[in-house]
Structure 1
Amino acid sequence: MAAQDTGVRPMRRDAARNHQLVVEAARAVLAEFGTDASMELIASRAGVGVGTVYRRFPNKEALVDEIAGQMLRQLVDEARRALTLADGTGLEVFLRVIGRSLSDHRGYAEKLVGHTKAACVEQLRDLMTELLVQAQEAGRIAPGIELGDIMTLAWGLRGIVETSGAVVPDAWQRHLDIHLAGLRAEAPPSRRAAVTRQELTSITGAGGRADGEKS
Protein backbone atom coordinates (compact mmCIF):
# COMPACT_ATOMS: atom_id res chain seq x y z
CA MET A 1 0.00 0.00 0.00
CA ALA A 2 1.32 3.40 -0.92
CA ALA A 3 2.10 5.82 1.90
CA GLN A 4 -0.69 8.29 2.57
CA ASP A 5 -0.09 11.68 0.98
CA THR A 6 -0.25 14.31 3.71
CA GLY A 7 -0.10 17.13 1.18
CA VAL A 8 2.98 18.61 2.88
CA ARG A 9 6.27 18.24 1.08
CA PRO A 10 9.47 18.11 3.12
CA MET A 11 11.90 20.90 2.31
CA ARG A 12 14.79 20.10 0.01
CA ARG A 13 18.11 19.74 1.77
CA ASP A 14 19.42 23.09 0.50
CA ALA A 15 16.13 24.82 1.38
CA ALA A 16 16.21 23.35 4.88
CA ARG A 17 19.82 24.48 5.27
CA ASN A 18 18.97 28.03 4.17
CA HIS A 19 15.96 28.05 6.48
CA GLN A 20 18.13 27.24 9.49
CA LEU A 21 20.85 29.69 8.41
CA VAL A 22 18.28 32.48 8.27
CA VAL A 23 16.79 31.60 11.67
CA GLU A 24 20.20 31.42 13.34
CA ALA A 25 21.29 34.70 11.73
CA ALA A 26 18.03 36.35 12.78
CA ARG A 27 18.55 35.29 16.39
CA ALA A 28 22.05 36.79 16.40
CA VAL A 29 21.03 40.02 14.63
CA LEU A 30 17.92 40.58 16.74
CA ALA A 31 19.92 40.00 19.92
CA GLU A 32 22.42 42.62 18.76
CA PHE A 33 20.15 45.25 17.18
CA GLY A 34 16.65 44.42 18.45
CA THR A 35 13.55 43.97 16.35
CA ASP A 36 14.26 47.10 14.29
CA ALA A 37 16.98 45.17 12.44
CA SER A 38 16.27 44.88 8.71
CA MET A 39 15.62 41.70 6.75
CA GLU A 40 18.50 42.75 4.50
CA LEU A 41 20.91 42.66 7.46
CA ILE A 42 19.61 39.24 8.47
CA ALA A 43 20.10 37.97 4.92
CA SER A 44 23.64 39.35 4.82
CA ARG A 45 24.50 37.72 8.16
CA ALA A 46 23.05 34.41 6.93
CA GLY A 47 25.06 34.60 3.71
CA VAL A 48 22.00 34.35 1.48
CA GLY A 49 20.12 36.73 -0.78
CA VAL A 50 17.29 38.74 0.68
CA GLY A 51 14.96 37.00 -1.78
CA THR A 52 15.77 33.70 -0.09
CA VAL A 53 14.71 35.17 3.24
CA TYR A 54 11.41 36.47 1.86
CA ARG A 55 10.65 33.12 0.18
CA ARG A 56 10.72 31.46 3.59
CA PHE A 57 9.37 34.37 5.64
CA PRO A 58 7.11 36.94 3.93
CA ASN A 59 7.82 39.49 6.66
CA LYS A 60 9.73 39.97 9.89
CA GLU A 61 6.71 39.01 11.97
CA ALA A 62 6.66 35.56 10.37
CA LEU A 63 10.36 35.19 11.14
CA VAL A 64 9.83 36.18 14.77
CA ASP A 65 6.94 33.68 14.92
CA GLU A 66 9.31 30.93 13.80
CA ILE A 67 11.90 31.85 16.42
CA ALA A 68 9.21 32.06 19.11
CA GLY A 69 7.92 28.63 18.15
CA GLN A 70 11.39 27.13 18.31
CA MET A 71 12.04 28.72 21.70
CA LEU A 72 8.77 27.45 23.13
CA ARG A 73 9.28 23.93 21.79
CA GLN A 74 12.74 23.86 23.34
CA LEU A 75 11.34 25.00 26.68
CA VAL A 76 8.61 22.35 26.59
CA ASP A 77 11.21 19.67 25.85
CA GLU A 78 13.43 20.92 28.66
CA ALA A 79 10.50 20.99 31.11
CA ARG A 80 9.65 17.40 30.26
CA ARG A 81 13.27 16.44 30.72
CA ALA A 82 13.37 18.20 34.09
CA LEU A 83 10.37 16.16 35.22
CA THR A 84 12.46 13.00 34.90
CA LEU A 85 14.76 14.15 37.73
CA ALA A 86 13.64 12.04 40.68
CA ASP A 87 15.23 14.17 43.40
CA GLY A 88 12.80 17.09 43.06
CA THR A 89 15.36 19.46 41.55
CA GLY A 90 13.55 19.67 38.21
CA LEU A 91 11.93 23.04 38.91
CA GLU A 92 15.24 24.63 39.88
CA VAL A 93 16.93 23.16 36.81
CA PHE A 94 14.15 24.39 34.55
CA LEU A 95 14.18 27.90 35.99
CA ARG A 96 17.86 28.09 35.04
CA VAL A 97 16.95 26.90 31.55
CA ILE A 98 14.42 29.75 31.33
CA GLY A 99 17.04 32.26 32.48
CA ARG A 100 19.53 31.01 29.92
CA SER A 101 16.92 31.09 27.15
CA LEU A 102 15.98 34.67 28.02
CA SER A 103 19.66 35.58 27.99
CA ASP A 104 20.16 33.93 24.60
CA HIS A 105 17.21 35.92 23.22
CA ARG A 106 18.09 39.17 24.96
CA GLY A 107 16.94 42.24 23.09
CA TYR A 108 13.80 40.67 21.67
CA ALA A 109 12.54 38.24 24.35
CA GLU A 110 9.46 40.42 24.97
CA LYS A 111 8.55 40.21 21.29
CA LEU A 112 8.86 36.42 21.44
CA VAL A 113 6.57 36.26 24.47
CA GLY A 114 4.00 38.26 22.53
CA HIS A 115 4.14 35.81 19.62
CA THR A 116 3.66 32.61 21.63
CA LYS A 117 0.29 30.93 21.21
CA ALA A 118 -2.08 30.65 24.15
CA ALA A 119 -2.38 26.86 23.91
CA CYS A 120 1.40 26.48 23.96
CA VAL A 121 1.73 28.81 26.92
CA GLU A 122 -0.86 26.78 28.83
CA GLN A 123 1.02 23.57 28.03
CA LEU A 124 4.19 25.04 29.48
CA ARG A 125 2.35 26.23 32.59
CA ASP A 126 0.94 22.73 33.07
CA LEU A 127 4.47 21.33 33.02
CA MET A 128 5.69 24.00 35.42
CA THR A 129 2.83 23.13 37.77
CA GLU A 130 3.94 19.49 37.71
CA LEU A 131 7.51 20.56 38.43
CA LEU A 132 6.34 22.67 41.35
CA VAL A 133 4.30 19.83 42.86
CA GLN A 134 7.24 17.48 42.41
CA ALA A 135 9.59 19.93 44.15
CA GLN A 136 7.16 20.40 47.04
CA GLU A 137 6.70 16.67 47.47
CA ALA A 138 10.49 16.32 47.66
CA GLY A 139 10.63 19.06 50.29
CA ARG A 140 12.69 21.41 48.14
CA ILE A 141 10.01 24.11 47.80
CA ALA A 142 7.76 25.37 50.61
CA PRO A 143 4.12 24.14 50.54
CA GLY A 144 2.63 27.64 50.24
CA ILE A 145 4.32 28.43 46.92
CA GLU A 146 2.00 28.53 43.89
CA LEU A 147 2.36 28.69 40.13
CA GLY A 148 1.83 32.45 40.14
CA ASP A 149 4.88 32.84 42.39
CA ILE A 150 7.01 30.87 39.93
CA MET A 151 5.74 32.82 36.93
CA THR A 152 6.43 36.19 38.55
CA LEU A 153 9.94 34.95 39.34
CA ALA A 154 10.39 34.14 35.64
CA TRP A 155 9.16 37.63 34.70
CA GLY A 156 11.72 39.06 37.11
CA LEU A 157 14.48 37.10 35.39
CA ARG A 158 13.42 38.58 32.06
CA GLY A 159 13.59 42.09 33.47
CA ILE A 160 17.08 41.54 34.85
CA VAL A 161 18.31 40.06 31.57
CA GLU A 162 16.95 42.99 29.59
CA THR A 163 18.30 45.57 32.06
CA SER A 164 21.80 44.27 32.78
CA GLY A 165 22.47 41.63 30.14
CA ALA A 166 24.76 43.78 28.01
CA VAL A 167 27.06 44.47 30.97
CA VAL A 168 26.55 41.53 33.34
CA PRO A 169 25.04 38.70 31.27
CA ASP A 170 24.72 36.32 34.22
CA ALA A 171 23.28 38.75 36.79
CA TRP A 172 20.01 36.78 36.66
CA GLN A 173 21.80 33.76 38.18
CA ARG A 174 22.32 35.43 41.57
CA HIS A 175 18.78 36.78 41.55
CA LEU A 176 17.52 33.24 40.99
CA ASP A 177 19.81 31.82 43.71
CA ILE A 178 18.38 34.28 46.25
CA HIS A 179 14.80 33.58 45.28
CA LEU A 180 15.28 29.82 45.34
CA ALA A 181 16.61 30.15 48.88
CA GLY A 182 13.45 32.05 49.77
CA LEU A 183 11.23 29.45 48.12
CA ARG A 184 12.79 26.78 50.34
CA ALA A 185 12.04 28.67 53.58
CA GLU A 186 9.87 26.75 56.04
CA ALA A 187 7.96 29.84 57.17
CA PRO A 188 4.89 30.84 55.11
CA PRO A 189 6.21 32.95 52.17
CA SER A 190 3.58 35.68 52.47
CA ARG A 191 0.06 36.34 53.66
CA ARG A 192 -0.65 38.01 50.34
CA ALA A 193 -2.45 35.93 47.72
CA ALA A 194 -0.37 34.59 44.86
CA VAL A 195 -1.19 35.59 41.29
CA THR A 196 -3.83 33.10 40.12
CA ARG A 197 -3.74 31.24 36.82
CA GLN A 198 -6.72 33.24 35.57
CA GLU A 199 -4.89 36.44 36.44
CA LEU A 200 -1.78 35.18 34.61
CA THR A 201 -3.87 34.80 31.47
CA SER A 202 -5.35 38.29 31.91
CA ILE A 203 -1.90 39.81 32.40
CA THR A 204 -0.26 38.16 29.41
CA GLY A 205 -3.28 38.11 27.12
CA ALA A 206 -4.40 35.38 24.74
CA GLY A 207 -1.06 35.26 22.96
CA GLY A 208 1.20 35.62 25.96
CA ARG A 209 1.71 39.40 25.67
CA ALA A 210 1.67 41.50 28.81
CA ASP A 211 -0.83 44.34 28.92
CA GLY A 212 0.69 47.51 27.58
CA GLU A 213 3.28 45.75 25.39
CA LYS A 214 3.20 46.62 21.74
CA SER A 215 2.76 43.87 19.18
Structure 2
Amino acid sequence: MDIYDEKFVENLFNRMSKTYGTANYLSSFGFTERWRKQCIREIDWNLEIEKGFDLMSGMGETWDLIDKESKQNHQLIGVDISPAMNIKANERINKYHSLEISIREENVLHNDIDSNSSDYIVSTFGLKTFSDEKLKILAKEVNRILKINGQFAFVEISKPKNKLFIIPYMFYLKFLIPLIGKVFMEIQWIIECWEFIAKNLWTAKNSKST
Protein backbone atom coordinates (compact mmCIF):
# COMPACT_ATOMS: atom_id res chain seq x y z
CA MET A 1 0.00 0.00 0.00
CA ASP A 2 1.33 3.41 -1.01
CA ILE A 3 0.32 5.74 1.82
CA TYR A 4 1.10 8.76 -0.38
CA ASP A 5 -1.15 7.66 -3.25
CA GLU A 6 -3.68 10.37 -4.11
CA LYS A 7 -6.72 8.09 -3.95
CA PHE A 8 -5.57 6.49 -0.69
CA VAL A 9 -5.20 9.90 0.96
CA GLU A 10 -8.54 11.10 -0.39
CA ASN A 11 -10.39 7.98 0.80
CA LEU A 12 -8.67 8.04 4.19
CA PHE A 13 -9.72 11.61 4.92
CA ASN A 14 -13.21 11.00 3.58
CA ARG A 15 -13.60 8.25 6.19
CA MET A 16 -12.05 10.38 8.92
CA SER A 17 -14.23 13.42 8.28
CA LYS A 18 -16.97 12.57 10.81
CA THR A 19 -14.69 12.56 13.85
CA TYR A 20 -11.42 14.05 12.58
CA GLY A 21 -11.49 17.20 14.71
CA THR A 22 -12.29 15.36 17.93
CA ALA A 23 -9.69 12.70 17.22
CA ASN A 24 -6.97 15.27 16.58
CA TYR A 25 -7.77 17.15 19.77
CA LEU A 26 -7.89 14.08 22.00
CA SER A 27 -4.92 12.25 20.55
CA SER A 28 -2.72 15.37 20.80
CA PHE A 29 -4.09 16.36 24.23
CA GLY A 30 -5.14 19.68 22.73
CA PHE A 31 -1.72 20.58 21.36
CA THR A 32 -2.90 20.67 17.74
CA GLU A 33 -4.92 23.79 18.51
CA ARG A 34 -1.92 25.47 20.12
CA TRP A 35 0.34 24.53 17.20
CA ARG A 36 -2.19 25.85 14.68
CA LYS A 37 -2.29 29.14 16.55
CA GLN A 38 1.52 29.39 16.54
CA CYS A 39 1.55 28.69 12.81
CA ILE A 40 -0.99 31.38 11.98
CA ARG A 41 0.87 33.91 14.13
CA GLU A 42 3.97 33.42 11.96
CA ILE A 43 2.21 35.48 9.30
CA ASP A 44 2.68 39.25 9.60
CA TRP A 45 -0.93 40.40 9.52
CA ASN A 46 0.09 44.07 9.56
CA LEU A 47 1.15 43.85 5.91
CA GLU A 48 -1.31 44.58 3.12
CA ILE A 49 -3.23 41.38 2.34
CA GLU A 50 -5.76 40.81 -0.42
CA LYS A 51 -5.73 37.04 -0.81
CA GLY A 52 -4.43 33.96 1.01
CA PHE A 53 -4.53 30.19 0.59
CA ASP A 54 -5.03 27.45 3.15
CA LEU A 55 -3.56 24.29 1.60
CA MET A 56 -4.81 20.86 2.68
CA SER A 57 -7.43 22.92 4.46
CA GLY A 58 -9.44 19.99 5.85
CA MET A 59 -12.49 21.21 7.75
CA GLY A 60 -11.25 24.80 7.89
CA GLU A 61 -9.76 24.50 11.36
CA THR A 62 -7.43 27.48 10.82
CA TRP A 63 -10.08 29.90 9.62
CA ASP A 64 -11.24 31.03 13.05
CA LEU A 65 -7.62 31.80 13.96
CA ILE A 66 -7.01 33.68 10.71
CA ASP A 67 -10.20 35.68 11.23
CA LYS A 68 -9.08 36.71 14.72
CA GLU A 69 -5.50 37.57 13.72
CA SER A 70 -6.22 39.33 10.42
CA LYS A 71 -6.22 43.12 10.49
CA GLN A 72 -8.18 43.53 7.25
CA ASN A 73 -10.85 41.95 5.10
CA HIS A 74 -9.48 39.64 2.44
CA GLN A 75 -10.15 36.59 0.31
CA LEU A 76 -9.19 33.16 1.68
CA ILE A 77 -9.23 30.06 -0.52
CA GLY A 78 -9.13 26.60 1.02
CA VAL A 79 -7.67 23.80 -1.10
CA ASP A 80 -8.34 20.17 -0.20
CA ILE A 81 -8.59 16.87 -2.07
CA SER A 82 -11.27 15.29 0.15
CA PRO A 83 -14.93 15.91 -0.80
CA ALA A 84 -16.13 14.88 2.67
CA MET A 85 -13.76 17.27 4.43
CA ASN A 86 -14.81 20.07 2.09
CA ILE A 87 -18.46 19.46 2.96
CA LYS A 88 -17.56 19.94 6.62
CA ALA A 89 -15.57 23.07 5.79
CA ASN A 90 -18.49 24.52 3.81
CA GLU A 91 -20.60 24.46 6.96
CA ARG A 92 -18.45 27.18 8.52
CA ILE A 93 -17.75 29.41 5.51
CA ASN A 94 -20.13 32.22 6.52
CA LYS A 95 -19.06 32.44 10.18
CA TYR A 96 -16.27 34.95 9.75
CA HIS A 97 -16.24 38.74 9.70
CA SER A 98 -13.03 39.53 7.82
CA LEU A 99 -12.82 36.59 5.42
CA GLU A 100 -14.43 35.95 2.05
CA ILE A 101 -13.92 32.18 1.90
CA SER A 102 -14.16 29.80 -1.02
CA ILE A 103 -13.03 26.19 -1.42
CA ARG A 104 -11.23 24.47 -4.28
CA GLU A 105 -11.57 20.69 -4.37
CA GLU A 106 -8.33 19.63 -6.02
CA ASN A 107 -4.90 18.15 -5.49
CA VAL A 108 -2.60 21.03 -4.66
CA LEU A 109 0.18 19.35 -6.66
CA HIS A 110 -1.96 19.59 -9.80
CA ASN A 111 -3.84 22.85 -9.42
CA ASP A 112 -5.13 25.69 -11.59
CA ILE A 113 -4.21 28.47 -9.17
CA ASP A 114 -2.79 31.57 -10.84
CA SER A 115 0.90 32.31 -10.40
CA ASN A 116 1.91 35.25 -8.19
CA SER A 117 -1.63 35.49 -6.85
CA SER A 118 -1.34 35.04 -3.08
CA ASP A 119 -0.08 37.24 -0.27
CA TYR A 120 0.27 34.29 2.08
CA ILE A 121 -0.07 30.50 2.23
CA VAL A 122 -0.66 28.45 5.36
CA SER A 123 -1.00 24.72 5.94
CA THR A 124 -1.49 22.85 9.20
CA PHE A 125 -0.77 19.13 9.45
CA GLY A 126 -1.03 18.46 5.72
CA LEU A 127 2.62 17.84 4.86
CA LYS A 128 2.53 14.26 6.15
CA THR A 129 0.37 13.29 3.18
CA PHE A 130 3.32 13.80 0.80
CA SER A 131 6.46 11.79 0.08
CA ASP A 132 9.82 13.57 -0.12
CA GLU A 133 9.50 13.85 -3.90
CA LYS A 134 5.99 15.27 -3.65
CA LEU A 135 7.16 17.77 -1.02
CA LYS A 136 9.61 19.13 -3.59
CA ILE A 137 6.74 19.62 -6.03
CA LEU A 138 4.70 21.30 -3.30
CA ALA A 139 7.56 23.70 -2.54
CA LYS A 140 7.72 24.71 -6.20
CA GLU A 141 3.96 25.27 -6.27
CA VAL A 142 4.07 27.42 -3.14
CA ASN A 143 6.86 29.49 -4.69
CA ARG A 144 4.87 29.83 -7.93
CA ILE A 145 1.61 30.85 -6.26
CA LEU A 146 3.06 33.40 -3.83
CA LYS A 147 3.50 37.01 -4.82
CA ILE A 148 6.95 38.53 -4.52
CA ASN A 149 7.62 38.96 -0.78
CA GLY A 150 4.65 36.70 -0.04
CA GLN A 151 4.57 34.79 3.25
CA PHE A 152 4.06 31.16 4.14
CA ALA A 153 3.74 29.20 7.38
CA PHE A 154 3.41 25.42 7.67
CA VAL A 155 3.26 23.20 10.75
CA GLU A 156 3.56 19.41 10.95
CA ILE A 157 4.33 16.74 13.54
CA SER A 158 7.76 15.11 13.30
CA LYS A 159 10.10 12.82 15.15
CA PRO A 160 11.80 14.45 18.18
CA LYS A 161 15.40 15.47 17.50
CA ASN A 162 16.42 14.44 21.02
CA LYS A 163 16.96 10.66 21.00
CA LEU A 164 15.77 10.43 24.62
CA PHE A 165 12.26 11.34 23.47
CA ILE A 166 12.04 9.02 20.46
CA ILE A 167 11.11 5.84 22.40
CA PRO A 168 8.30 7.41 24.49
CA TYR A 169 7.10 9.34 21.46
CA MET A 170 6.83 6.25 19.27
CA PHE A 171 5.18 4.40 22.18
CA TYR A 172 2.61 7.18 22.20
CA LEU A 173 2.04 6.78 18.46
CA LYS A 174 1.98 3.00 18.46
CA PHE A 175 -0.07 2.29 21.57
CA LEU A 176 -1.72 5.39 23.03
CA ILE A 177 -3.28 6.81 19.86
CA PRO A 178 -4.90 3.47 18.88
CA LEU A 179 -6.19 3.15 22.47
CA ILE A 180 -7.79 6.58 22.30
CA GLY A 181 -9.28 5.59 18.97
CA LYS A 182 -10.79 2.41 20.35
CA VAL A 183 -12.28 4.18 23.36
CA PHE A 184 -13.61 7.34 21.72
CA MET A 185 -13.66 6.95 17.95
CA GLU A 186 -14.45 4.71 15.04
CA ILE A 187 -11.85 1.98 15.39
CA GLN A 188 -11.08 1.29 11.76
CA TRP A 189 -10.14 4.77 10.65
CA ILE A 190 -8.11 5.61 13.76
CA ILE A 191 -6.01 2.50 13.13
CA GLU A 192 -5.52 3.51 9.50
CA CYS A 193 -4.72 7.07 10.55
CA TRP A 194 -2.15 5.85 13.07
CA GLU A 195 -0.56 3.56 10.48
CA PHE A 196 -0.35 6.51 8.10
CA ILE A 197 1.31 8.78 10.67
CA ALA A 198 3.61 6.12 12.14
CA LYS A 199 4.90 4.92 8.77
CA ASN A 200 5.54 8.50 7.79
CA LEU A 201 7.42 9.35 10.98
CA TRP A 202 9.58 6.24 10.98
CA THR A 203 10.99 7.31 7.62
CA ALA A 204 10.95 11.07 8.22
CA LYS A 205 14.09 13.09 7.60
CA ASN A 206 15.03 16.37 9.23
CA SER A 207 14.74 19.24 6.76
CA LYS A 208 14.97 23.02 6.65
CA SER A 209 13.26 25.51 4.36
CA THR A 210 15.31 28.11 2.56
Q: TM-score range by the shorter chain?
A: under 0.3
TM-score by length of 1: 0.27
Bigger strand fraction: 2
Bigger helix fraction: 1
